[in-house]
């Protein structure tokens, strides 16, 4: 999963193609728990590009998108929000897969 580098890159990516932004932080224990399953989820849903966004580095993007808990997922397709899985709760592989399966096409 590649890392988001700039706010401009966020706006560029969300407006072009299909992207899932995972908001996380190095200090977040619930984020670390799902790390081992993320490559499998990325390959299962390969029509999306997954982008890691550090919550501390991109707090303005979090505020702008009402992301107040991590780990959280925000999906976009060509500028349209396709879905959000936003909470401070730990997420299971099955919950992330369900979120991905239910994204607006």
pLDDT per residue over 34-90, tens digit each?
999 999 999 999 999 999 999 999 999 999 999 999 999 999 999 999 999 999 899
Instruction: Please say if the pLDDT value at position 104 is more than 70.
Output: no
Residues with Cβ within 8 Å of 9's Cβ and at least 6 positions away in sequence, in order, are none
Does pTM surpass 0.85? yes
Would residue 28 show up in a list of annotated catalytic residues for this protein?
yes
Instruction: Please say if the pLDDT value at position 105 is more than 90.
Output: no
Strand order across the 49-54 sheet: 2-3, 49-54, 18-24, 72-77, 80-85
Q: How confident is the model at residue 8 (pLDDT cuts 50, 70, 90)?
A: very high
The per-residue pLDDT for 43 is 97
Domain map (residue ranges) of the chain: 2-101
Q: Which of 20, 22, 31, 61 is catalytic?
A: 31
Average pLDDT over residues 24-32: 94
The per-residue pLDDT for 50 is 98
Would residue 62 show up in a list of annotated catalytic residues for this protein?
no
CATH architecture of 2-101: 3-Layer(aba) Sandwich (3.40)
Strand partners, 85: 73
Q: Which of 4, 20, 22, 28 is catalytic?
A: 28
CA dihedral (30, 101, 50, 36) in degrees, to 10, reads 40
Is the Cα torsion angle 61, 65, 71, 48 positive or negative in sign? negative
């Amino acid at each position: 999963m590649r890392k988001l580098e700039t706010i401009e890159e966020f706006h560029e990516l969300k407006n072009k193609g299909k992207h899932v932004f995972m908001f996380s932080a190095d200090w977040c224990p619930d984020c670390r728990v799902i790390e081992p399953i993320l490559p499998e989820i990325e390959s299962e849903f390969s029509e999306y590009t997954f982008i890691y966004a550090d919550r501390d580095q991109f707090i303005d993007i979090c505020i702008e998108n009402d992301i107040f808990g991590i780990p959280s997922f925000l999906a976009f397709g060509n500028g349209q929000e396709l879905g959000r899985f936003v909470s401070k709760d730990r997420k299971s592989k099955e919950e992330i897969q369900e979120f991905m399966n239910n994204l607006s096409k």
